């Protein structure tokens, strides 16, 4: 009996076929060294083009799931990058001469950090249960499924790893316009075709997302709250509209970047609860500090396994020293109170500037997070003029795809009593220099 008779590969598209093979590898139905059907044989069986099967096999080779040589069969790789234990466990009472670990007794203590019960060694579970529990509880409260969690080195690292396992160079991805500069750079680096999706103060506009989905995107990347740079955030009604649109397009993977978490200042509205392929990445950097490069990703089983497997073949795991520090802080009542106070303070500073701008007739967005987005006619003269007035603001050009010119003003450290002066100085430049786009 052939492997194909034991496990039937299905699908009509490149992605469906590749996913079917990976599912077989994950379940153990397709074992290491098993030969897959030839391109021609599988294409004939599925009644599709051989080019589609060849593309699926190419994707699987790129990800290390299968191997092949010229004029030979396509074989399941012996160590595919999926979420499987890297080394066998050592039974109790057996001397470990196998795993290649250093002697824990010879590892120096970390200065200034309370040591754990014992050092973490190779071959142990990569993610700290205490951190998964703490962030998992938060995500569950926000309506995000938490059956499969993975720790990554910050939000962008998590997003990058999801793109790595699902998309290939030339794929189209819907992304907010404007969007964070790191997102733009990452998509360019990966050779992905960004399809701009306009946003307003309530996040992604339904008409823009609908157009992108019709355009045949392979993924949707969005920021449900604390949007950088526009300060947008989904509310319940907008999220419901977007879920309905996404329900009619089940294939694209939806990636949510919750980079500000507890200090966003508004509730979280996820779009991924009913999807087949999805990921929500919640970072600790904005809440607990940029040097704490820790994020927790909730995802479907398939995505989580692929991300975890790829992590194992790179850094191996996110330092459990950092994970332990994040878990300790997140479960500390004093930290919780400090984060709640920070969220209120950020909101007060942001709304102070929005109110001051509104009072002089200048339109701006900023429902959540650290930033206010001010549409203008020209950016450079205003950036220069504001600097001369004593305020450093950012031109919108690095953030924009098709969106019009604007300024990004970060209010995270703005004294609310200074907001009227910031608005007045900007208003003088706008009204005096003809650079305004007023509401």
* pLDDT per residue as tens digits for the range 106-141: 555 545 555 556 666 767 778 889 999 999 999 999
Distance CA 153, CA 319 (A): 9
Least confident of 28-42, 196-210, 341-355: 28-42
What average pLDDT does this structure show over 176-202? 93
**Contact, 343 vs 263, CB < 8 A?**
yes
On whether the 120-331 domain is CATH 3.90.1150.10, my answer is no
Least confident of 102-116, 197-211, 238-252: 102-116
What average pLDDT does this structure show over 367-380? 93
Distance CA 204, CA 218 (A): 17
Provide CATH code, domain 335-433. 3.90.1150.10
pLDDT for residue 109: 55
pLDDT for residue 246: 96
pLDDT > 90: percent of the chain: 54
Distance CA 411, CA 431 (A): 22
pLDDT for residue 131: 93
pLDDT 10s digits, 402-417: 999 999 999 998 899 9
Mean pLDDT over all residues of the chain? 86
**Contact, 427 vs 419, CB < 8 A?**
no
What is Dmax (Cα atoms) for the chain?
Answer: 81
Q: Is the pLDDT reported for residue 27 higher than 50?
A: yes
Q: Is the pLDDT reported for residue 242 higher than 70?
A: yes
Contacts of 287 (CB under 8 A, 6+ apart): 260, 261, 262, 263, 339, 342
Q: Is the pLDDT reported for residue 101 higher than 70?
A: no
pLDDT for residue 76: 83
User: What ranges do the domains of the chain cover?
Assistant: 3-76, 120-331, 335-433
One-character DSSP codes across 104-169 = GGGSPPPTTS---SS---TTS-SS-HHHHHHHHHHHHHTT---SSEEEESSHHHHHHHHHHHH--T
**Three-class SS state of 282:** strand
Q: What is the DSSP letter of 361?
A: T
CATH class of residue range 3-76: mainly alpha
pLDDT for residue 83: 53
Q: Is the pLDDT reported for residue 98 higher than 60?
A: no
């Amino acid at each position: 009996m052939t492997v194909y008779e034991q496990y039937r590969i299905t699908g009509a598209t490149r992605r469906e076929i590749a996913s079917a093979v990976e599912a077989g590898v994950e379940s153990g139905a397709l074992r290491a060294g098993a030969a897959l059907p030839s391109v021609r044989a599988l294409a004939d069986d599925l009644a599709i083009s051989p080019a589609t099967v060849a593309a699926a096999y190419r994707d699987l080779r790129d990800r290390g799931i299968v191997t092949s040589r010229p004029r030979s069969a396509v074989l399941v790789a012996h160590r595919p990058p999926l979420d499987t234990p890297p080394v066998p466990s050592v039974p109790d009472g057996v001397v470990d001469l196998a795993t290649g670990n250093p002697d824990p007794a010879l590892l120096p203590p970390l200065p200034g950090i309370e040591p754990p019960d014992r050092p973490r060694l190779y071959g142990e579970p990569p993610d700290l249960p205490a951190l998964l529990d703490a962030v998992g509880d938060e995500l569950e409260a926000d309506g995000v499924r938490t059956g499969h969690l993975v720790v990554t080195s910050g939000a962008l690292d998590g997003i990058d790893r999801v793109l790595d396992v699902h998309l290939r160079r030339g794929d189209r991805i819907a992304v907010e316009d404007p969007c964070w500069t790191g997102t733009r750079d990452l998509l360019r680096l990966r050779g992905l075709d960004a399809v701009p999706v306009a946003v307003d103060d309530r996040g992604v506009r339904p008409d823009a997302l609908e157009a992108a989905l019709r355009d045949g995107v392979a993924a949707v990347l969005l920021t449900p709250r604390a949007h950088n740079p526009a300060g947008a955030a989904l509310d319940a009604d907008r999220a419901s509209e977007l879920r309905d649109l996404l329900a009619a397009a089940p294939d694209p993977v939806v990636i949510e970047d919750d980079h500000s978490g507890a200090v966003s200042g508004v509730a979280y509205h996820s779009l991924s609860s009913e999807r087949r392929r999805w990921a929500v990445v919640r970072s600790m950097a904005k809440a607990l500090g940029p040097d704490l490069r820790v994020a927790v990703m909730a995802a479907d089983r398939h995505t989580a396994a692929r991300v975890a497997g790829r992590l194992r073949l790179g850094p191996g795991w996110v330092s459990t020293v950092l994970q332990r520090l994040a878990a300790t802080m997140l479960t500390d009542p004093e930290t919780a109170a400090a984060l709640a106070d920070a969220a209120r303070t950020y909101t007060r500073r942001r709304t102070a500037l929005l109110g001051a701008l509104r009072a002089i007739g200048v339109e701006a967005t900023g429902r959540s997070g650290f930033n206010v987005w001010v549409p203008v006619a020209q950016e450079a003269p205003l950036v220069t003029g504001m600097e001369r007035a004593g305020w450093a603001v950012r031109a919108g050009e690095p953030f924009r795809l098709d969106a019009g010119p604007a300024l990004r003003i970060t209010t995270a450290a703005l004294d609310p009593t200074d907001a009227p002066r910031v608005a007045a100085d900007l208003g003088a430049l706008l009204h005096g220099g003809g650079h305004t786009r007023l509401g």
